[in-house]
Amino acid sequence: MVAEAAERRSRFIAENLRRIFIQIYRMVGNVDDAQDLTQEAFIKALQREDQLKDPDKAAHWLSRIATNTAIDFLRRSSRAEFLEVEALAEPLASPAEESPEELLLRSERRLFLEEGLRVLTERERLALVLRDLEGLPAAEVARRLNCSKATVRSHIANARIKFRQLLERRNR
């Protein structure tokens, strides 16, 4: 019974870890904080797993806990700094099948994304990540950010306009 529960937990972590880490990372914009908050979100979720009635909704439920954990963190710290790529101690990890050109392109694209997210305000970034990356409906994004649907629409629209302008400048 205990082994079964441990196995279920491990599977749950393995299936969702990467997605939740990326979601939180895009929200807080910092690798170290994202790691800590990911752990915190999983611990919170698994400590309350008996509250979850429908296992099919586990991923959504976890995502919600992750969002709240990240938002709480941002509220507490009132900041969202981006870790400079140069500051990373680890060498670039690359899948073996990628050519040097592909690797360079991918790296450029990621850097450009970091730059794009940096021009957004905190609320715009959160709204954009929850809507366009997580695929949540605008009403749910509003609920999670604790603001009106009209405000969320405004954040989403501003974020898309800024992002698109940046993308166009890059492609010129």
What residues contact 116, with CB distance under 8 A and at least 6 apart?
A: 162, 163, 166, 167
Q: Between 3 and 14, name the residue whose CB sits nearer to another protein.
A: 14
* Beta carbon of residue 46, minimum distance to another protein (angstroms, whole number): 6
Q: What CA–CA distance (Å, rounded) separates 107 from 95?
A: 12
What residues contact 125, with CB distance under 8 A and at least 6 apart?
A: 26, 27, 29, 80, 117, 159
Residues in contact with another protein by CB under 8 A are 9-10, 13-14, 17-18, 21-22, 25-26, 31, 35, 38-40, 42-43, 46-47, 83, 85, 88, 90-93, 106-107, 109-114, 116, 128-129, 131-133, 138, 153-154, 156-158, 160-161, 163-164, 167-168
Tokens of 18: 């990467």
* Beta carbon of residue 64, minimum distance to another protein (angstroms, whole number): 18
* Beta carbon of residue 60, minimum distance to another protein (angstroms, whole number): 17
